[in-house]
Structure 1
Amino acid sequence: MNMNNASLQSKTLQWFTAIACSLFIGGIWHFYPHPSWIISLSVLSLAALYTLNRPFIIVLFFVIFSFFRIHEVFPQLYSLKIPLFLSLGSLTALIWQVGITRQIKLFWCKEFTFLTLFLVIVIVGVIFSSNRLLAIEYFKNIYWKIILMTFAIAILVRTPQQIAFTLKAITIAGALVGIVAIQNKLGGIGLIEGTRVTIGREFGSMLGDPNDLALVLMFPISFAVALLVTHQLPWHHRMIGFIAIPILFWAVIATQSRGGLLGMIAVFGIYGLQRIKSKVLLMTIAVMASGALFVVAGISERVSGGAAEAGIDASAMGRLYAWEAAFKMAVNNPITGVGLDNFYSNYFYYSPHWDGLNHAVHSTWFGVLAETGFLGLSVFISLIVVLIKSANRTLTSVKAVKDEINPAIYASAQAIFAGLIGTIVSGTFLTQGFNWPIYILAALVVAVTKTCEIALNEIEIDTRKSEIQNDSQNDSQNEKNQ
């Protein structure tokens, strides 16, 4: 009865929308009888209807443009304001689906609890930040979008097809950024310290910092590897992974970022851990591969952190000074920290070493500690622990039935767990506590866990039906034999 009522309400809403759009276009035609108006309105109407009925696609593309900075990687797209339109479309579609049609079922989970608690701590920190204008600007321009889209992805991704599309979209976006990075490296464009590749440095892109570029390039590696090694996937999915892996590998090496290299090693290590039984052999391969990677990447040739610097290099000492400053900020502000995006502006007041310049913290953990205090760091670490446990539990459950479950779920479970570990490892040297990667992974952990639960329930139901049917057939056969 409830399903019939819901279906009736949906049809009524569709008829109302169609009649309202027709009357609106008819009114425009009456007052402005020109074909261009009708064509434009028709295109806009179709785009609006597609947006309202496909919120997952719009939200995913907004995340990809925002994180991978596609409009900065390809400056020809910059003037089109694509992220702005995608953000408006995402918000409109979410409000339509959640608030009006109610086609999306909301839920709550432990990950959401810790994420919300951390958000509250960040907001309180913004209010009491040392430079409130900086904190408000970062929250208004970036952070609230990250949080909103985290919840949106977690709620919207519900089918294996959506998961497979997400894997491919993130991998392809990363490969596109990697191709441009390699072109810049080969062409000597935007290099800093003479050897480290960047993108869009001339117009102030986030990817103009090689460490941030390494973070963006490292993130899709786990997705690309999952596409390649999951043999149950169609060949064209695996081909995407096969093409993307060397591109991303080369591009991360070109950044000469130690954090990026460590994260990449961690990702491959997780996949190796699942496939190589001998831990001694795995450790040997990991050590040899790490040494080879650092040689190939030319870390020793870097101006900062290279072999020319005796003892602890300047890059490492800079991080140690920054981490000490972060700890002092938290000691001085244990509950709220210095506030969102306030580490850089407070560096002078807390650093034991001043060289005439403020510096970034270059650590996820110390960044969260400095800007949200000890309380914020505790909640943030709790969130990470919950995510790791959930991702590992999901992967274990999926591996047990990998021949029966949809291969996209198995691939995504591998990718998310490996990507989460890689992000955590690279977080020692890369600042990502208030950036996209951890939050995208958090959303995908929740989404894949929910999708996996649905799939496992279906498998269990099918198994029970099969058992009942077999028992019934056996009983019938026994009766005949008697």
Structure 2
Amino acid sequence: MRDILVTLLVFAGLPFALQRPVVGGLMWVWISVMNPHTQGWGFATTFPFAQLIAATTLLSVLKSREKNTLAMTPISVTLMFFVLWMNITTPFALFPHAAFDQWSKVMKIMLMTFVVMMVVRKRDDVRKLIWVLVISLGYYGVKGGIFTIRSGGNDRVWGPLGTFIGDNNALALALIMTIPLMYYLMQDLPKRWMRQLMLASMALCALAALGSYSRGGVLAIVAMLAFMWKKSRHKLAGAALLTLLVPLALLFMPQQWSARMDTITEYHADQSAMGRLNAWEMAYNLAKDRFFGGGYAMYEPMTFAMYAPNPADVHAAHSIYFQAMGEHGFIGLGLYLLLGFFTWRSAAWIVRHSRGHADLQWAGSLAAMIQASLIGFAVGGAFLSLLYWDVPYYLMAAIMATRAAVQAHPGVRTTRLSQIRHPAATRAATVESGQIPRRRPEV
């Protein structure tokens, strides 16, 4: 039944995707983030839905009369350089054949990321993108939260097998990043029962994150909640709510959960933590020795024998930062950090310039909540190999389109000639505001 449902949804959406590229882009986000076919039991688990949606979307972009151009912003340009650098480092990989397989997967993700950046342009597109992300990840949060309640927190919550978030730690991070996005959507829901339902979903996502037994997830949720509290306009009420709910959630979890969390301060005695440290030092030593890094799929006994303090303890990177460093060298790490910096800076620009404009309140709220999500990712990602997970890149697309909408607003003054406007977003914002764009004076 699930296989049939997923198949019907995909094939029903393809004609709309062929007509409008943004529909195809949103379908791609849904299929790549939620992986709904993994919830089936039959033919849908191996059917190439992603390839079908990607091909339809690319065809739609080519035939569309809409100007789906990629805005040259600091975010998109830095991502281009990062992708280019990954293509340069791959021929120098330690294990070329295995590296090529991973390179193929990563390039498909990056190609469709650029497509999403091209087709998500207006406020309505951004809102739909956030809804797709919330539904795709919130499904596992609500499901996992209910499972945690039913099991009394004694069983771990896992994500869909064979996906980026299949691991319990990765799922916890994904759900933590979803909570601020849910909060943003909740503010605009028209009915009280809708807001209450979204609030319940946020609570279930938090419970599911705790039920994953992820220590990195706990650190990420603390960082994310602290940032959300700092950005809140009702700090006293927020502090009172956290003081009430957090102890209740912690008391609900069993003793074995508390025992695992206690190992955060006793990492020297934890084999998993020491394995991470060993992998991190290996990546650092490798990057010092090899300018282009070790390339994709470098986590093999031979690599650890050459660069790790403990050659017998072979682990994956377990850190987005050391993954970038180990696989693509210090330049790769620098480009990745620069990408995060420009994304954060653009979000801060949106928050700052949307103040005082009631019709831009949505933009400031969204940018602040995306910042909260990225704080969670920056902290939790320090312990996970999620360098190529696509959700942070989709949030970058949302920031790009939102900044373009704010820049196009007639009440926002831009003082720098280098600030780049998205042409389509500019026209859309002008039409929606009912104003005629000014012509440049003839010389």
C-alpha RMSD of matched pairs (Å): 3.7
Aligned to 2:387: 433
1:267 lines up with 2:224 in the alignment: yes
Aligned to 1:173: 136
Aligned to 1:246: 203
Matches within 5 A, 1:327-476: 327-333=284-290, 335-343=291-299, 346-355=303-312, 358-401=314-357, 403-405=358-360, 408-456=362-410
Instruction: Letter of the 1:269 partner, please give it.
Output: A
1:78 lines up with 2:45 in the alignment: yes
Pick closer, same or farther for the CA change 1:316–1:282 going to 2, 3 Å.
farther
Instruction: Letter of the 1:68 partner, please give it.
Output: M
Aligned residues: 406
Q: Structure 2: give runs of 5+ residues left out of the alignment.
A: 1-9, 412-428, 437-443
Matches within 5 A, 1:117-196: 117-141=81-105, 143-182=106-145, 185=148, 195-196=155-156
Matches within 5 A, 1:260-339: 260-275=217-232, 301=257, 307=263, 312-314=268-270, 315-333=272-290, 335-339=291-295
1:424-460 deviation line (CA, Å, top 9, x unaligned) = 1222222222221321222221121112222355699
Kept after mapping to 2: 8 A contact 1:171/1:241? no
CA distance in structure 2 between the aligned counterparts of 1:139 and 1:210, rounded to whole angstroms: 25
Instruction: Letter of the 1:168 partner, please give it.
Output: W
Kept after mapping to 2: 8 A contact 1:153/1:447? no
CA distance in structure 1 between the aligned counterparts of 2:11 and 2:276, rounded to whole angstroms: 52
CA distance in structure 1 between the aligned counterparts of 2:66 and 2:257, rounded to whole angstroms: 57
Q: Structure 1: give runs of 5+ residues left out of the alignment.
A: 1-43, 466-482
1:92-114 deviation line (CA, Å, top 9, x unaligned) = 222323xxx35324431111221
Kept after mapping to 1: 8 A contact 2:321/2:333? yes
Aligned to 1:221: 179
Moved more, 380-389 or 239-248: 239-248
TM-score by length of 2: 0.79
Partner SS state of residue 336, structure 2:
helix
CA distance in structure 2 between the aligned counterparts of 1:137 and 1:414, rounded to whole angstroms: 37
Kept after mapping to 2: 8 A contact 1:306/1:313? no
CA distance in structure 2 between the aligned counterparts of 1:299 and 1:62, rounded to whole angstroms: 41
Partner SS state of residue 427, structure 1:
helix
1:148-201 deviation line (CA, Å, top 9, x unaligned) = 22222222122222222222221122121123434655677xx9xx84322345
Pick closer, same or farther for the CA change 1:344–1:160 going to 2, 3 Å.
farther
Pick closer, same or farther for the CA change 1:155–1:309 going to 2, 3 Å.
closer
Pick closer, same or farther for the CA change 1:353–1:363 going to 2, 3 Å.
same
Whose Rg is larger? 1
CA distance in structure 1 between the aligned counterparts of 2:239 and 2:257, rounded to whole angstroms: 27
* Offset, 1:64: 2.4
Kept after mapping to 2: 8 A contact 1:117/1:379? yes
Instruction: Letter of the 2:371 partner, please give it.
Output: F
TM-score by length of 1: 0.73
Kept after mapping to 2: 8 A contact 1:322/1:360? yes
Kept after mapping to 2: 8 A contact 1:56/1:156? yes
1:265-310 deviation line (CA, Å, top 9, x unaligned) = 322222211225879x999998998888777666964887755996
1:63 lines up with 2:29 in the alignment: yes
Aligned to 2:424: none
* Offset, 1:461: 11
1:73-107 deviation line (CA, Å, top 9, x unaligned) = 4445424432232222222222323xxx3532443
Partner SS state of residue 158, structure 1:
coil
Pick closer, same or farther for the CA change 1:114–1:294 going to 2, 3 Å.
farther
CA distance in structure 2 between the aligned counterparts of 1:431 and 1:285, rounded to whole angstroms: 33
Kept after mapping to 1: 8 A contact 2:146/2:204? no
* Offset, 1:119: 0.9
Instruction: Letter of the 2:279 partner, please give it.
Output: A
CA distance in structure 1 between the aligned counterparts of 2:235 and 2:249, rounded to whole angstroms: 22
Pick closer, same or farther for the CA change 1:238–1:393 going to 2, 3 Å.
farther
Aligned to 1:104: 68
CA distance in structure 2 between the aligned counterparts of 1:298 and 1:320, rounded to whole angstroms: 28
Pick closer, same or farther for the CA change 1:246–1:434 going to 2, 3 Å.
same
Instruction: Letter of the 2:57 partner, please give it.
Output: S
Kept after mapping to 2: 8 A contact 1:196/1:256? yes
Kept after mapping to 2: 8 A contact 1:157/1:447? yes
Instruction: Letter of the 1:166 partner, please give it.
Output: L
Pick closer, same or farther for the CA change 1:456–1:372 going to 2, 3 Å.
farther
* Offset, 1:213: 1.8
Kept after mapping to 2: 8 A contact 1:171/1:240? no
CA distance in structure 1 between the aligned counterparts of 2:385 and 2:53, rounded to whole angstroms: 26
CA distance in structure 1 between the aligned counterparts of 2:318 and 2:379, rounded to whole angstroms: 13
Pick closer, same or farther for the CA change 1:243–1:159 going to 2, 3 Å.
farther
Partner SS state of residue 389, structure 1:
helix
Partner SS state of residue 252, structure 1:
helix
Aligned to 1:198: 158
